[in-house]
Amino acid sequence: LAPAYIRSIAPYVPGKPISELAREMGLDEASIVKLASNENPLGMGPKAKAAMLAAAEDIARYPDGNAFALKDKIASKFGVSTQHVVLGNGSNDTLELIARTFLTAADSAVFAQYAFAVYPLAVQSVGAQAIAVPAKDYGHDLPAMLAAIRPDTKLVFIANPNNPTGTLLRPGELLEFMEQVPARVLVVLDEAYTEYLDPAQRADSIGWLQRFPNLIVSRTLSKAYGLAGLRVGFLLAQPEVADLINRVRQPFNVNSLAQAAAVAALDDEDFLARSVEVNRQGMKQLTDAFVRLGVSFIPASGNFVTFHCGDAAALNRFMLQRGVIVRPLGNYGLHDCLRVSIGLPEENARFIAVLEEALAS
Ligand code: PMP
């Protein structure tokens, strides 16, 4: 029915929903801890929630197709013009829009071996060649990625921090890469988890847009801003690049509840700071436990940690039976790893207790 390049796409495997696990295992939904999808354990911020509920009053109307207020908020917050902004139904949408705008079946795109699963999905769905470059210490091998660029390569995807491995590139490494990559190749720098970094770890990516017209910076409100279910992502690029992507974008791809909540969320510095602090403490709680239990893990930036555990499928089953949902990474070829998202202190404690029980059994 579909062309071979569509049939070759590996299905995306999302985290198991709480309701599904409750049904499967006969567990009470309230007893289940989901640490599988890198969500914000605090939920959505109070200001965003109030704005979303207020917007619900007008839900019979179409959203603002140009999302004037949200683009304006993003532009002023990040020091760019509204012409630099493209909005998406989550950053998955903007990543896919980039592929649809710039790739044809005659082109290729480069990314790292353990890079985010949506990159191959977006690239293969337009029939382009996906070039996965072997990882270095579970992260990006930038010199190898540079060397992998072919005459038909139009895009490079870099996730920093990377999901699912949590690896981080230094600003200097990224800058060197940008200086060396051919100007005809667009570089998508996916910074979905950037809010969790210390300021010194962060690249001045948005500041680089002027100097590198081939740079696209991708952000999301699904993580530290707590709006994963509403689906809001955006990218920043030079107006010529943003204009092309906006031509492909469906006009109402960000719904009105999402637009209203996103404007309020971007203004709520208190909630953002609280989210980052809960994450910092949770990261320590989890990694301290891994050290104490002798479990090796990949040093992580972001709101999750990937750890080694031998037979990951078996440990995953053990955890699911006890109401703890984490993320198996078999689709990335990481069959001896699980990824755990950072939750509230009591959720992390449940995960640690079940891990301890598994190790003792
Ligand atoms: N990029 C990376 C690296 C991610 O980990 C994720 C979320 N899993 C996304 C993009 C997409 O997030 P969203 O579509 O919710 O904005």
Domains and CATH numbers, the chain: 4-43+270-360 (3.90.1150.10), 48-267 (3.40.640.10)
- Two structure tokens written together for 261: 């909540």
Of 117, 108, 169, 130, the closest CA to residue 333 belongs to: 117
Mean pLDDT computed over 313-340: 96
- pLDDT value at position 140? 98
| Cβ of 157 below 6 Å from ligand 1 | no
pLDDT over 90, % of the chain: 95
> Residue 240 Cα, ligand 1 centroid: separation in angstroms?
24
Q: Is the pLDDT of residue 13 over 80?
A: no
Residue-wise pLDDT tens digits, 124-178: 999 999 999 999 999 999 999 999 999 999 999 999 999 999 999 999 999 999 9
Q: Is the pLDDT of residue 332 over 90?
A: yes
Q: Is the pLDDT of residue 58 over 80?
A: yes
Q: Is the pLDDT of residue 211 over 80?
A: yes
Residue-wise pLDDT tens digits, 182-202: 999 999 999 999 999 999 999
| Residue 112 pLDDT grade (very low, low, confident, very high; cuts 50, 70, 90) | very high
Q: 87 near 278, Cβ under 8 Å?
A: no
| Cβ of 275 below 6 Å from ligand 1 | no
> Residue 38 Cα, ligand 1 centroid: separation in angstroms?
9
Q: Is the pLDDT of residue 41 over 80?
A: yes
| Cβ of 259 below 6 Å from ligand 1 | no
- pLDDT value at position 15? 73
Q: Which one of 74, 96, 163, 341 would you pick to mutate in the ligand 1 pocket, going by the greatest count of ligand atoms within 8 A of its CB?
A: 163
Residue-wise pLDDT tens digits, 251-275: 999 999 999 999 999 999 999 999 9
The DSSP letter of residue 182 is -
> Residue 220 Cα, ligand 1 centroid: separation in angstroms?
7
What value of ipTM does the predicted structure carry? 0.99
Segment (H or E) for 218:
strand 215-220
Of 217, 241, 223, 267, the closest CA to residue 72 belongs to: 267
Whole-angstrom Cα distance, residue 155 to residue 111? 9
| Cβ of 163 below 6 Å from ligand 1 | yes
- pLDDT value at position 11? 83
- pLDDT value at position 71? 98
| Cβ of 90 below 6 Å from ligand 1 | yes
- pLDDT value at position 16? 79
The lowest-confidence range among 7-11, 51-55, 86-90, 132-136 is 7-11
| Cβ of 91 below 6 Å from ligand 1 | yes
- pLDDT value at position 279? 98
Residue 172 three-state SS: helix
Residue-wise pLDDT tens digits, 165-177: 999 999 999 999 9
Residue 61 CB neighbours (<10 A): 9
Radius of gyration of the chain (CA): 20
